[in-house]
């Protein structure tokens, strides 16, 4: 317990068989008071949220809303062990993410037929897929893009590990395959269970990540169109997205999607509004590139799960639309530069520099803080953060269509799981070289066939490149199939038996969090 990094035995805070920790971390007076102030801020957002009658109604209508009881604990899990600027960087990220999700849900429940039922407002909303860029809405300043699956499924599992098990079971009760990816399965399950808010002028779906996504989208689109009369558009971005031959087709899909939104809402595409967002999007990309550049040095500052979750929000959900995110980006860069100059470290010892590759276990995103706190494995960057850094046009409408096509082809996860072995397999070794990594932690999402098919090739090439490769097997959103302890065991075994190392924090090596949120 104290202000020094690594001074607290973090494993002692766990309570076997319980959902929550014994107490919060003592980080020294200054950092504890700072953390307390951010906790107050989070409680303020939650309190304000619950003052709205639509939101209260939603809390008692939608089962997945219960997961949001765990918001403060989610922030605690992702700030474990942090001190000083690194704690401030993490809170800058999470403050904004929490605010943004609260705003998204408030909009949903205002328009939702089951809660606020504001029909005029509902006409201004466009439903988006969970794993989809929201960039197309930049050109429609009077419309709001809303991903219903973001709070219902994606964020829910971040908050509570078993958040969507109920919906996975519902989908399987209705005959959907049990070995499909749990994310689209849960998304389809929410639809079958009649647990999505109902609103919107139209819905824009995308062939985001896999055949599982297409399955889920089919089930959801049918109910949206047949039952609620909400038209759906399927934006089919090309699979081999790095090839020149597919770009004209990809651009045409963007034009078709714009036309679809115009027809459904009566709004007209606004290039001025789009380019304003494009400028901000480029500025955000430049900030992210600064952070990545720092991670190539001996003193990385913005790394791991927090970088991944924040990038997902900024790159996919915000896409340059909200000025507050660029402001936060600049603040993060300032804090990071300060720490970089002072050569500050995130954990007491950096034993291994790791690239995190593959699709993360959504029910255990704080596995990355565990890696750094328990074993001194620094999760420099992960696959989900390695998205496009290409500057997009800020004034040319013709080029902008191709830029948008590029972004939709290169959405998070999709940019690696689609596009062939070069983007999934070959690029990894280039990143190892760029970031001076000696280790790869490879998430093996057992239901993701696109990744599993490369298992042998990853092993063969890791040997060729002299990279230590640790598999972390999981089932994305279903901890009943692979519990969190099993993921840790994958690493513990390798560190003990292959590398013969001792943990930095032995209290974290074996912990009982099977029942924890």
Partner 1 sequence: MKKRVVKIVKIISIIAAVFFVISFTVYFFNLDMKLTAAIEPYLEKWHDKVKRERKL
**Residues that bind partner 1 in the complex, under the rule CB under 8 A:** 18-24, 26, 32, 36, 39-40, 43, 60-61, 63, 66, 69-70, 72-73, 170, 174, 192-195, 219, 222-223, 517
Contact in structure between 85 and 345 (CB atoms under 8 Å): no
Nearer to partner 1, 455 or 480 (CB): 480
The distance of closest approach from Cβ of residue 20 to partner 1 in the complex, given in angstroms and rounded to an integer, is 4
C-beta of residue 200 within 8 angstroms of C-beta of residue 126: yes
Instruction: In whole angstroms, give the CA distance from residue 112 to residue 298.
Output: 50
**Closer Cβ to partner 1, 33 or 324, answer by number:** 33
- Residue 146: enclosing H or E segment and its boundaries? strand 144-147
User: Judged by CB, which is closer to partner 1: 192, or 473?
Assistant: 192
Tokens of 224: 């949206």
**Least distance between partner 1 and beta carbon 163 (Å):** 11
Nearest to partner 1 of 169, 438 (CB atom): 169
Could you tell me the smallest distance in angstroms from the CB atom of residue 410 to partner 1?
33
CA distance 377 to 495: 10
CB of 65 vs partner 1, minimal distance in Å: 9
| Least Cβ distance, residue 182 to partner 1 (angstroms) | 18
- Burial label for 170, CB within 10 Å (0-12, 13-18, 19+), is buried
Residue 4 Cβ vs partner 1, minimum distance, rounded to whole Å? 19
Closer residue to partner 1 in complex, CB, 195/267: 195
Give the residues across from 146 on adjacent strands.
127
End-to-end CA, the chain: 24
Q: Which is nearer to partner 1, 36 or 421 (CB)?
A: 36
Q: What string of DSSP letters covers 247-313?
A: HHHHHHHHHHHHHHHHHHH-----HHHHHHHHHHHHHHHHHHHHHHHHTTSSS--S-HHHHHHHHII
The secondary structure of residue 20, as a DSSP letter, is: S
Which residues have a Cβ under 8 Å from the Cβ of 429 and sit 6 or more positions away?
461, 465, 467
What is the closest distance, in whole angstroms, from the C-beta atom of residue 374 to partner 1 in the complex? 21
- Comparing CB distances to partner 1, the nearer of 20 and 258 is 20
Please report how close the Cβ of residue 214 comes to partner 1 at its closest, in angstroms: 16
Nearer to partner 1, 222 or 493 (CB): 222
Residues 181, 214 contacting (CB under 8 angstroms): no
């Amino acid at each position: 317990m104290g202000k020094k990094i690594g001074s607290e035995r973090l494993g002692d805070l766990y309570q076997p068989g319980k959902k929550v920790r014994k107490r919060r971390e003592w980080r020294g007076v200054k950092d504890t008071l700072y953390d307390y102030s951010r906790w107050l801020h989070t409680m303020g957002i939650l309190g304000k949220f619950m003052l709205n009658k639509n939101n209260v109604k939603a809390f008692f209508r939608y089962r997945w809303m219960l997961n949001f009881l765990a918001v403060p604990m989610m922030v605690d899990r992702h700030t474990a062990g942090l001190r000083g600027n690194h704690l401030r960087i993490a809170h800058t990220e999470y403050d904004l993410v929490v605010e943004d999700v609260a705003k998204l849900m408030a909009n949903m429940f205002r328009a939702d037929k089951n809660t606020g039922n504001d029909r005029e407002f509902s006409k201004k909303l466009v439903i988006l897929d969970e794993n989809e860029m929201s960039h197309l809405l930049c050109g429609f300043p009077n419309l709001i893009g809303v991903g219903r699956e973001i709070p219902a499924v994606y964020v829910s599992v971040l908050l509570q590990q078993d958040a969507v098990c109920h919906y996975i079971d519902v989908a399987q009760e209705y005959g959907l395959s049990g070995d499909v990816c749990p994310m689209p399965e849960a998304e389809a399950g929410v639809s079958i269970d009649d647990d999505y808010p109902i609103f919107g002028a139209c819905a824009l779906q995308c062939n985001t990540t896999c055949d599982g996504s297409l399955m889920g989208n089919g089930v959801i689109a049918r109910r949206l169109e047949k039952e609620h009369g909400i038209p759906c558009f399927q934006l089919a971005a090309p699979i081999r997205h790095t090839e020149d031959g597919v770009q004209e087709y990809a651009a045409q899909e963007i034009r078709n999607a714009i036309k679809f939104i115009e027809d459904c809402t009566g709004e007209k595409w606004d290039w001025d509004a789009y380019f304003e967002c494009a400028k901000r999007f480029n500025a955000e990309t430049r900030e992210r590139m600064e952070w990545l550049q720092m991670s190539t040095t001996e003193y990385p500052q913005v790394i791991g799960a927090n970088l991944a979750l924040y990038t997902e929000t900024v790159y996919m959900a915000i896409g340059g639309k909200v000025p507050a995110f660029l402001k936060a980006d600049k603040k993060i860069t300032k804090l990071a530069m300060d720490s970089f100059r002072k050569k500050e470290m995130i954990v007491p010892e950096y034993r291994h520099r790791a690239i995190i590759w593959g699709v993360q276990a959504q029910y255990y995103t704080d596995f990355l803080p565990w890696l750094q706190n328990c074993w001194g494995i620094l999760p420099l960057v992960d696959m989900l953060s390695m998205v496009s850094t290409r500057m997009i046009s800020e004034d040319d409408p013709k080029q902008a269509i191709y830029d948008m096509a590029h972004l939709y082809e290169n959405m998070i996860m999709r940019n690696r799981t689609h596009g062939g072995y070069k983007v999934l397999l070959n690029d990894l070794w280039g990143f190892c070289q760029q970031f001076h990594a000696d280790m790869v932690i490879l998430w093996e999402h057992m239901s993701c066939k696109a990744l599993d098919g490369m298992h042998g090739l990853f092993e063969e090439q890791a040997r060729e490149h002299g990279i230590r490769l640790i598999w972390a097997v999981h089932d994305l959103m279903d901890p009943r199939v692979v519990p969190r302890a099993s993921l840790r065991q994958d690493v513990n075994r390798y560190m003990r038996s292959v590398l013969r190392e001792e943990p930095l924090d032995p209290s974290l090596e074996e912990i009982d969090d099977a029942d924890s949120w």
